[in-house]
Chains A and B, each alone.
Chain A
């Protein structure tokens, strides 16, 4: 299974008041089990790209293949695609509507046409996956805290058991501890369940510690596509377009400039510490 974008472009009608960023000849292949971060600032096209992946937006040129099938084929059921390629929007708690948490999480599997027993099973499984205590299943989602609501919303998508999971700014508005919790949860989903995870974000530091591959978007096109180390190699260029590599990467560059023998492709704190200790001739 894989998701392939073949010369995909999207242009929007310029006389509407609500602009949607355009896409310009996107060629992208996402394989099963990958953990990808799509980074770009507001207006780069990253959210537009994400919404093409589950057919919410239709490309004006090019083709998209999921599992070898052209999703724009006549008779292709986009509704089914969306249960395979699940999407969690930014501030997903804004979509909650059930009278109980359980009812809301059941919405997805119900739309899949599954029988009642299977729907309940999946709902409970999903709530367990987001680590929401069982006693909350019968409470109103509006009585929960912001972080809990977000987990319910994510559970709502997980209950469909999608093979691919796209999350648009999953840490938006959360405090540092909240951010770590959600990202940790997402990583677990990837590692334990083998879900292909696509994180869309403008926060490099959040993403760098978790993903295996980064796709940088700018003006509707893909600027860089590679491992975090490869991408952060271009830290100067990234800064110019309003994104930034992790602080430690810049630190390494600065140290190298004053003669320290350090690897400038470092992206995490432990690596930085080790590199500096080595450069100072100390044991790690």
Chain B
């Protein structure tokens, strides 16, 4: 069930986007998300979509891969879109059939919302597809380092995140094994109502938690054995360094933000 999740999967290729510092990409994604919600006109959204299209081409990741993330929620999008289309009250009525009414506001709202969702998902995928999980956590650690002033344990959080990413596939495999073992004892995860199904999760969750704690214990010992002592004094094997392309990217990001604000004001 979980095996086909492509969320957060890295697609190796050699593009400018892949070579950018992860902090640049994180910042760019943040600004992108903000811009999606600033702009509220359909032409404005189309400008954003065009920008995204250009970024996708630069990333050298095949479009089919990008679209994979959408596939899961296409139905949800359609339902939400249809609701918006038929239930938004507006001034001009464009279409009327029994209880179904499509107003101009409804049409705009539905189109806007649908484009927004698609662009949001694809936009964030671009980041995870072009950045390895570890560079992401490195980027977050270095980028958010200023928070240590406020006693936020940035290094520890980043370490936890990268360890979690490392163990996700292992825990998924373990869940599968536990499920099979319980099924071999006649466990049934399909039948029954919600209450029954929740109860049937206990034989999976308890062993999984026990196992996860045991792993954490072992891992902590292994880390200590290799002289792990928190973030102080640690050097970095792959230190993050800004390069020329990052500077150019930052300029582009700000230009993009400016354009979106202008679009909102003018369009």
Contacts and interface: CB of A to CB of B under 8 A. Distances in A.
A35 interface: no
Contacts of A18: 3, 169, 172-173, 176
A107 B3 contact: no
Contact of A56 (B172, B173, B184): B184
B184 A87 contact: yes
B211 interface: yes
Given A108-B186, A160-B185, A89 B177 contact: yes
Nearest to B174: A94
Contact of B211 (A86, A89, A92, A94): A94
A97 interface: yes
If over half of B's interface residues share one DSSP class (helix, strand or loop), that class is named, otherwise mixed; here it is helix
Given A17-B3, A96-B210, A97-B207, 15 more contacts: A18-B3, A18-B173, A56-B180, A79-B188, A82-B183, A86-B184, A95-B181, A95-B203, A95-B207, A97-B202, A107-B182, A107-B185, A107-B187, A156-B185, A157-B185
B229 interface: no
5 contacts: A17-B169, A54-B184, A86-B184, A89-B184, A94-B181
A111 interface: yes
Contacts of B203: 95, 97, 107
A261 B137 CA distance: 68
B118 interface: no
A157 B186 contact: no
Given A56-B180, A89-B177, A95-B178, A108 B185 contact: yes
B265 interface: no
Given A18-B3, A97-B202, A97-B203, A79 B177 contact: no
B64 interface: no
A111 B186 contact: yes
A97 B184 contact: no
Contacts of B206: 97
A9 interface: no
A187 B91 CA distance: 83
B181 A111 contact: no
Contact of A94 (B169, B172, B184, B207): B207
Interface of A: 16-18, 51, 54, 56, 79, 82-83, 86-87, 89, 92, 94-97, 107-108, 111-112, 142, 156-157, 160
Interface of B: 3-4, 169, 172-174, 176-178, 180-188, 202-203, 206-207, 210-211
A111 B178 contact: no
A16 B4 CA distance: 6
B186 A82 contact: yes
Given A89-B180, A95-B181, A97-B202, A111 B207 contact: no
B190 to A, nearest CB: 10
B177 A94 contact: yes
Contacts of A92: 181
Nearest to B187: A111
Nearest to B211: A94
Nearest to B210: A142
A127 B3 CA distance: 37
B154 to A, nearest CB: 30
Contacts of B183: 56, 82
Nearest to B214: A94
A56 B202 CA distance: 20
Contacts of B181: 87, 89, 92, 94-95
B182 to A, nearest CB: 6
Most chain B CB within a 10 A radius of its CB, from A16, A89, A95, A108: A95
A79 B186 contact: yes
B209 to A, nearest CB: 9
B186 A160 contact: yes
A91 B55 CA distance: 48
A114 B207 CA distance: 25
Contacts of B202: 97
